[in-house]
Amino acid sequence: MEIQKDLTIMGSNKNKSAAEKTAQSVFTVSALIAVMAVASITIYMIINGTPALFQVGADKLLFGTKWAPGALEPSYGILYIILTSLIGTTLAVLLGVPMGVLTAVFLSEMASKRVAAIVKPAVELLAGIPSVIYGLLGLMILNPLMYKLEMKLFMGSETHRFTGGANLISAVIVLAIMILPTVINISQSAIQAVPIHMRAASEALGASKIQTIFKVVLPAAKSGIITAVVLGVGRAIGEAMAISLVSGSAVNLPLPFNSVRFLTTAIVSEMGYAADTHRQVLFTIGLVLFAFIMFINISLTRILKKGEHNHD
In a domain, 302, yes or no: yes
Report, as an integer, the average pLDDT of 142-153: 91
CB-based contacts of 205: which residues, under 8 Å, 6+ apart? none
Confirm whether 44 is domain-assigned. Answer: no
Check pLDDT > 80 for residue 310. Answer: no
Q: Round to whole Å and give the CA distance between 133 and 3.
A: 67
Does 13 map to a domain? Answer: no
Query: What is the pLDDT, as a whole number, of residue 268?
Result: 86
pLDDT band at 13 (very low <50, low <70, confident <90, very high): low
Taking alpha carbons only, the member of 172, 173, 162, 176 closest to residue 257 is 162
Kindly report, residue by residue over 71-95, the tens digit of the pLDDT.
888 888 899 999 999 999 999 999 9
Percent of the chain scoring above 90 in pLDDT: 28
CA 108 – CA 113 distance, rounded (Å) = 10
Share the mean pLDDT of the chain: 85
Strand partners, 294: none
The answer as to whether 48 is a domain residue is no
The pLDDT score that the predictor gives to residue 142 is 92
Domain range for 207: 78-311
pLDDT of residue 12: 58
**132 domain-assigned:** yes
pLDDT at 1: 44
| Domain-located, residue 61 | no
Say if residues 259 and 166 touch (Cβ distance below 8 Å). yes
Q: What is the mean pLDDT of residues 183-191?
A: 91
Burial 142-162, CB ≥16 within 10 A → b, else e = bbeebbeebeeeeeeeeeeee
pLDDT class of 304 with cuts at 50, 70, 90 = low
Domain count for the chain: 1
| CATH classification of the domain holding 271 | 1.10.3720.10
pLDDT confidence band for 3 (50 / 70 / 90): very low
Higher pLDDT, 9 or 30: 30
Handedness of CA 281, 284, 289, 292 (dihedral sign): negative
Question: What predicted TM-score, i.e. pTM, was given to this entire model?
Answer: 0.83
pLDDT score of 94: 92
Find, among 194, 20, 4, 22, the residue nearest to 108 by Cα.
194
- In-domain check, residue 38: no
Q: How many angstroms separate the Cα of 153 from the Cα of each of 81, 142, 150, 160, 250?
A: 25, 17, 5, 10, 21
Lowest mean pLDDT of 122-131, 145-154, 177-186, name the range.
Answer: 122-131
pLDDT (mean) for 14-35: 85
Query: What's the angle, vertex CA 173, arms to CA 261 and CA 181, rounded to 5?
Result: 115
DSSP helix/strand/coil, 260 = strand
> Is the per-residue pLDDT at 287 higher than 60?
yes
Q: Is the residue at 17 inside a domain?
A: no
Length of the chain measured in residues: 312
